[in-house]
Structure 1
């Protein structure tokens, strides 16, 4: 009886040791994966910072202006081209889409405006 109990105890100890070793190896593998992912994340952050710096360089107003002058052949804006708010048309008087009839104001052909 004592021998059977001793054999069962030795078996349980060996089984526990084997399971503990497997858990340790699995944890070490997961730890290695975490380290790899952290390294990749750090590289991605560096890449993002480089891309942001390049984007800021490419979007410098002086650079964009020189490229526009070189390739778009645009003319300078004249002072006469700038308008005033008073030159804008007035808003339509009554445009009610829920009215069911024809639209009022400019859309209905009326000359009525808000004064």
Structure 2
């Protein structure tokens, strides 16, 4: 009844159906992955928008002026003179072109402070050494929690 040719065609049809199902299943998995990645991208875009809004609130000039007045004693900020600003073309050389200083440990000074000596390229040609001493930077005292609740902004991720 069934000839060999019919059996071969049934086998080819079954194999084709299996391959078609496998391809369909893989395509569905890829589509789910695309949807998941689109959701992650949307979450990241929402987070970026939230951070931009937060930055806009944090950098408002009237808020910064209040903070400057509140910390005027600790920070001792001074306005920048317009003559202190320079354009990039006015700088002598690029940062990448500046030679790296040769730093060596020297003997410790009084009170155990570390003294480092460094030779920069112009100083090395003159035969002079530049000596610097590390000094701690004072940090301002934290403000009280109840002083200014308007400056406290809660942020979180969008889910």
Higher relative contact order (CA 8 A, sep 6+): 2
Asked if TM exceeds 0.5, the reply is yes
Q: After superposition, what is the alpha-carbon deviation per residue over 1:65-93, rounded to whole angstroms, capped at 9, x for unaligned? A: 1111111324787xxxx799xxxxxxxxx
Structure (1/2) with the larger strand percentage: 2
Query: Structure 2 matches for 1:1-115, cutoff 5 A?
Result: 3-73=3-73, 74=76
Report the number of matched residues. 79
Q: After superposition, what is the alpha-carbon deviation per residue over 1:44-102, rounded to whole angstroms, capped at 9, x for unaligned? A: 1111111000000000011111111111324787xxxx799xxxxxxxxxxxxxxxxxx
Structure (1/2) with the larger helix percentage: 1
Instruction: Report the TM-score, using the length of structure 2 for normalisation.
Output: 0.45
Could you say if the C-alpha distance between residues 26 and 76 of structure 1 is closer, same or farther in structure 2, counting changes exceeding 3 Å? closer
Tell me how far 1:24 sits from its aligned partner: 0.2
The runs of 5 or more residues in structure 1 that have no matched partner are: 85-115
The runs of 5 or more residues in structure 2 that have no matched partner are: 84-159
Q: Distance in 2 between matches of 1:28 and 1:39?
A: 17
CA RMSD in angstroms comes to 2.3
SS at structure 2 position matched to 1:41: helix
Which one has the largest radius of gyration? 1
